[in-house]
Chains A and B, each alone.
Chain A
């Protein structure tokens, strides 16, 4: 079981470019969560997805940010027209417990986004 896979590990973008972050959940998991972590800070919830559905996007900025989890392939977090303030570590997590409200989340290694 390969665990949650994120790529790339490091991503450098110039202001105004687009950033695409990928996450493949653990085998058998159909729930994906994206969290953002600034240096020396905690994990801030962004979005929760199941296959082909966004369940909760209350933590994601309305502008420039979008997420998807297609039927086939990884989940994608897309940030358009990046700004310096988007620089952070973005962690993906997955779980397999549907509908219980008691999710064991398993995290990927994160993508460190740096905006120049």
Chain B
């Protein structure tokens, strides 16, 4: 089955700096890669996603890049703010061909933005 590795497990940045979180996946059939943000004690919330037919997607201060050849994708947050502090999860879809349509999640990155 799909295996998603996520790094780093913790990340501390100064307010205004950029943060980068990286993920790799194992199943070359995966074709959908969302990112979720989870604040303490709350539900995971979708913040951005990318499909396999594009290499980059941007939404204000958040961008995601995908390298299908290398099977890795990254989340970039620019001009970080204290409210960006949370745990971020990457995920990959195992694809319709396997009969499974669930997402496989990475282990999470705890981002701390220091004011």
Which A residues have a C-beta under 8 Å from some C-beta of B?
31, 33, 35, 41-45, 48, 55-56, 58-59, 91, 99-110
Contacts and interface: CB of A to CB of B under 8 A. Distances in A.
B71 interface: no
B26 interface: no
6 contacts: A45-B102, A56-B101, A91-B44, A101-B97, A102-B32, A107-B43
Interface stretch (B13-21, B75-83, B88-96): B88-96
A100 B53 CA distance: 14
Contact of B96 (A42, A48, A101, A104): A101
For the side of the interface on B, what is the size category?
A: 20 to 34
Given A41-B108, A99-B96, A105 B103 contact: yes
Given A56-B99, A58-B100, A106 B42 contact: no
Interface of B: 1, 6, 31-32, 34, 36, 42-46, 49, 51, 89, 93-97, 99-108
Contacts of A43: 44, 89, 105
Nearest to B1: A58
B45 A107 contact: yes
Contacts of B97: 101
Contacts of B6: 42
Contact of B103 (A45, A55, A58, A99): A45
Contacts of B103: 33, 45, 103, 105
Contact of A45 (B104, B106, B107): B104
Contacts of B36: 107
Contacts of A99: 96, 101
A31 B102 CA distance: 10
Contacts of A109: 42-43
A109 B6 CA distance: 24
A42 B106 contact: yes
B43 A101 contact: no
A103 B96 CA distance: 10
Given A105-B46, A107-B44, A110-B43, A48 B102 contact: yes
A56 B100 contact: yes
